[in-house]
Chains A and B, each alone.
Chain A
């Protein structure tokens, strides 16, 4: 199993550009989530999904969209990038919402100029 994969590993954007961070898992996990990690702060939840077709907002959802058309994939879209979205983004999955070990992807380091 590849576990949780994320692409790209690094990305530089200009203010106002849009892009999609890809996340996929091959463990048939129902729960998937996106976090951002900023210096001096804990991981913060952006959006999460408890199954295909079901998504919800986390703590810091503004400026981001998600969809979950399949169990495997959970892309994160930046609609109009802003310097405040410069961060490291992690995708994670677990067997079920509220249960089980969380598996993290390798992260995407995003810089918005």
Chain B
């Protein structure tokens, strides 16, 4: 079983729709990251969070530590939001290699005009 699971794998939406991408993890974590990978391949960090909720523009990320679940929401989606969204967790144990990131497989979002 993968330690980080994302759903859905693929998502097609119409411009303006509200979008939710989910991430569940099975390990204790110190932080969770949401990343965006553009069609050209570059990866940028959107959020890093360890509790609660963060908002940046039309993007909102939430995390529930007890349920080991995070969501990424996009309000008023736009074709330029089309990308792969990747969830990654940093294990809460700092022995060995546990400080490294564990990645989900990504959710491919396509927003149609």
In the complex, identify which listed stretch (B13-21, B64-72, B73-81, B100-108) lies at the interface while the others stay far away.
B100-108
Cα separation A49 to B45 with both chains bound (whole Å) = 20
Cα separation A3 to B44 with both chains bound (whole Å) = 12
Q: Given A41-B105, A42-B105, A102-B33, are A33 and B43 neighbors across the interface (CB < 8 Å)?
A: no
Q: Given A42-B4, A42-B105, are A90 and B100 neighbors across the interface (CB < 8 Å)?
A: no
Nearest B residue to A35 via CB reads B103
Q: Are A106 and B41 in contact (CB under 8 A)?
A: yes
Q: Which residues of A contact B4 (CB under 8 A)?
A: 42
Nearest B residue to A39 via CB reads B105
Which B1-43 residues have a C-beta within 8 angstroms of A?
Answer: 2, 4, 30, 33, 35, 41-43
Q: Does A51 contact B (CB under 8 A)?
A: no
Q: Are A42 and B94 in contact (CB under 8 A)?
A: no
Chain B residue total in the interface (Cβ 8 A): 24
Q: Does B86 contact A (CB under 8 A)?
A: yes
Which B77-113 residues have a C-beta within 8 angstroms of A?
Answer: 86, 88, 90, 94, 97, 99-106
Cα separation A33 to B48 with both chains bound (whole Å) = 18
Q: What are 28 A-B contacts with C-beta separation under 8 Å?
A: A33-B100, A40-B105, A42-B86, A42-B88, A42-B105, A42-B106, A43-B101, A45-B97, A45-B100, A45-B101, A48-B97, A56-B97, A90-B43, A97-B100, A98-B30, A100-B48, A101-B33, A101-B45, A102-B33, A102-B45, A102-B88, A103-B45, A104-B35, A104-B43, A104-B44, A106-B41, A107-B43, A109-B41
